[in-house]
Amino acid sequence: MSAYRIRCRSAAALLITFAACGPEQLAKVNPALTWSPQALDFGERPVLDDLTLDVDLANLGGAPLEFSRTAVQGDDAFVLKEPVSTLNRGESATLKVTFTARAKKAYSGKLVLDSNDPEHPHVEIALAGVGSTAATAVIEPRALDFGRVGENRAAVRRLRITSTGTADLKVKAISLAGGTSPAYGFIGSVRTPQTLGAHRDGRADEYAEVTVKFAPTSAQDGMAGTLVLETTDPENALVNVPLTAGINLQPLAVPGGDRIVAPATRVVLDGSRSSDPDGDLPLTFSWKLVQTPQASQAALLDLRTPAPSITPDLPGSYVVELVVTDAAGLESKPARAKVNAVTSDKLVVELVWNHPLADLDLHFLEENTPLDGSRDATGERPDPDFGLQGYPDDDPHHSADKLAGFGPEWVVYEKPADGRYQVIVKYVSANGSADLAVPATVRVHEYGVVVAERQFAFSQPGETWEACRVEWPSGVVTGGMP
C-alpha cells in the first residue's frame, strides 16, 4: 500500500511540474523559424537578364533548427544558389534566389522550407516574375578570316556587337575557346560584363568592338580557333565565331660562307642558296655593308642581285647582311657573312684620326731607342734598318705621311725581327684649325687580324702619345688604354 502511494505521489509531482511550466515555457526549448519576406516578386525583367533577391531566415527558439529540405519548385527560371541545413539557437542565414526569364512571359514557383520547427514544419514562399523585354545582339561578322599572315608578323580583325532590342544588352563573357591556336589573342580590354543600352528611336544604337590578332611564330602554332561570346540575347546567348587564317612561312636568307682574301681582291658574294619554304618565288634580294675597317672606302655593288661584289681596300673585316623577300612580300630574318681581308704581313700598325685638317705622325721604333732616331719608322724615314743590320728583309716600312686629314698612316712589318717595339703618335699641327681637339685611334693587326685597339684624345699640337708596345714573336700588346 505504501509503495502505491509513493508512485501516485511521484506522478502527481510530475503533473504539477508540467503545469508550472505552461505552453510558453515549453516553446523555449524548441526551434522557432522566422522568415522574411513572405513572398518574392521579381517584377518585370528583360529576358536573360538575371536578378537575385534575398530571403532572411532566423532561429529564435532554444534548440537547433534542422532543415530537411530547402528547394525551389515550379519554373526553372528560379534558382536557389546555396541551401541551408542547420541554424543553431539565435543564428540567422540568407537564402539567395535568382530569377532568369528565358522568354517574354510570366513565371511562378515557390521556395519550400521543411524543418523540425513544430509550429512551422512546412513553409512555402511564393515566387513570381515576368520576362517583359528582350535584348537583341547583332554580331558582325559571324566569322573572322585573317587571310595568309606572315610568320613573325600579325594581322588584326574586328567584330562588332550592336544592341538593337527592347532591353539593354549585356555581354556577359568574351573568350577564346579551348584548343584555339596560341597565335590568336585579344588587343585591348575584353572585360565583362559590358552593358549596351536598348534601342531608342532617334538615337544611334550602342555597340562594342572586339579586336582579335593573329600573330604566328611558326607553323606549329596552328591556324584554327573560336571566339566565344555570351550575351543576354535569347537568340544569341552563346555565339561561337570561327577564326581562320593561313601562315606564310618566312623565306631563308643564305649569304654564303665567310671569305678570306687579300686586300684589293674583288669578292663576288653568293645568295643563290636562299629559299622559301612555301615556294613563294621569285625572291628579291637586298644586301648592305654593315661593317668595314675604319677609313675604308670600299663599297658593295649590285645590292639587288643574288651576287653583289666588294673589293676590300684595307686589311680587316667587312660584314655584309642579306635580307630576301618572297613573292608575297614577306621578308626574311637578316643573315650575315664576313669577308676578312688579310695581308701576308705578319705585323701592321694603323693610325687614323677624326679631324679634317690636323696632322698626326705615326712612329714605330725599337724599344729604348730615341724618337726620330735612326731606328724609328716615320713618314720622313719610311724604311729604317731594324734587326740584322744591312739586311732589308727584316725591316719595317712606313706607308705614307698624311700631312692633313683623317689618315690612315701605316707601318707594315712583313717579317718582324724578335724584340720589343714602341708605337708613338705625335700631334704635329692643326693646320690653322680653331678646333684643336683630335681623337686618334691606333690598331695593331697581326696576320691580318686586329688584336689591339687604343684611343686617345689630343688637345693641342706638340703632344706625344705612347699608344702601346708590341712584343715579337709572342704578339703580346701592352700599354695604353684598350
Q: What digits encode the pLDDT tens for the residues 106-140?
A: 999 999 999 999 999 999 999 999 999 999 999 99
Name the band, by pLDDT with cuts 50, 70 and 90, for residue 449: confident
Inform me whether the pLDDT recorded for 5 exceeds 60: no
Q: What digits encode the pLDDT tens for the residues 251-287?
A: 999 999 999 898 899 999 999 999 999 999 999 999 9
Inform me whether the pLDDT recorded for 3 exceeds 50: no
Q: Of residues 218 and 16, which shows the higher confidence score?
A: 218
Q: What digits encode the pLDDT tens for the residues 192-242?
A: 999 999 999 999 999 999 999 999 998 776 789 999 999 999 999 999 999
Q: What is the mean pLDDT of the chain?
A: 90
Q: What digits encode the pLDDT tens for the residues 324-344?
A: 999 999 999 999 999 998 877
Q: pTM (2 decimals)?
A: 0.60
The residue written with cell numbers 573572322 in the block is 144
Name the band, by pLDDT with cuts 50, 70 and 90, for residue 17: very low
